[in-house]
Structure 1
């Protein structure tokens, strides 16, 4: 298996500090609010919520019990550089999409007082590469940033 990457960028109309706080520091509170139809709650099951912490996502959308939770690990958290990454350890993001590994990386850059450029990258491995595997891996990452922007603009 080969590690593949897909990269994209998005500009959002919120300050970098607010986006960083919602994304990296308050994720366990914010994600269930902005994705309530998918994520019921998030528990920190290892660590203090910082680098190396393991998060248990309690999911709302799956009827099969084994797909009702997803475990992710914070593998990068650098507040001075606004860099954040989550690695899926176990769960439907892997099993239902035929990924054997999946990590999402975010790099935030201030563009203006109320504008942030978000560099997004997913690294993934699959048993069987499909033509759209990169897009499948990137779509939830892009949606997440768009939902964060909407939440922060409405708050």
Structure 2
């Protein structure tokens, strides 16, 4: 197995508190609103929605019936440092991309009143590394941040 990581960062035009609330505090309700064709709903199946909680993602119709669920665990949730991470336990994010492990982390940093720097990192494990595997692993995080920014701006 090959364990790798890929990093990226984006600056978004919303305040850190509003982005943090949408990302880490209201994730169960926000994700289905911002990506309804990808995620229909999220249920907390273990825990209270905080650190260590396990989330069941009910995925959109573009997935075949057997691939319509994904479980993820909140493995980092630090309000004071604005750090949030989810680890995929099972589901299409692993099977469709041949990952045996995938954890996505976000670190938010305040730049200004209405500007936040988002550092993203994916740590993934795969049988064999291909030229664009890191980019494939990171793309959902980049899209998620873009959707979140739009949601916060419109809220």
Q: TM-score, normalised by structure 1?
A: 0.98
The CA distance in 1 between the partners of 2:48 and 2:154, in whole Å, is 29
Cα offset, 1:63, TM superposition: 4.5
2:82 maps to 82
Q: What secondary structure, in the 3-state scheme, does the structure 2 residue paired with 1:89 have?
A: strand
Deviates more, 1:61-70 or 1:131-140: 61-70
Q: What secondary structure, in the 3-state scheme, does the structure 1 residue paired with 2:2 have?
A: coil
The CA distance in 1 between the partners of 2:107 and 2:48, in whole Å, is 22
Q: What secondary structure, in the 3-state scheme, does the structure 1 residue paired with 2:9 have?
A: strand
Q: What secondary structure, in the 3-state scheme, does the structure 2 residue paired with 1:18 have?
A: helix
5+ residue gaps, structure 2, are none
Q: TM-score, normalised by structure 2?
A: 0.98
Q: CA RMSD in A?
A: 0.8
2:132 maps to 132
Q: What secondary structure, in the 3-state scheme, does the structure 2 residue paired with 1:52 have?
A: coil
Cα offset, 1:62, TM superposition: 3.8
Q: What secondary structure, in the 3-state scheme, does the structure 2 residue paired with 1:105 have?
A: strand
Cα offset, 1:8, TM superposition: 0.3
Q: Tell me how many residue pairs correspond in the alignment.
A: 155
Cα offset, 1:129, TM superposition: 1.3
2:117 maps to 117
1:67 maps to 67
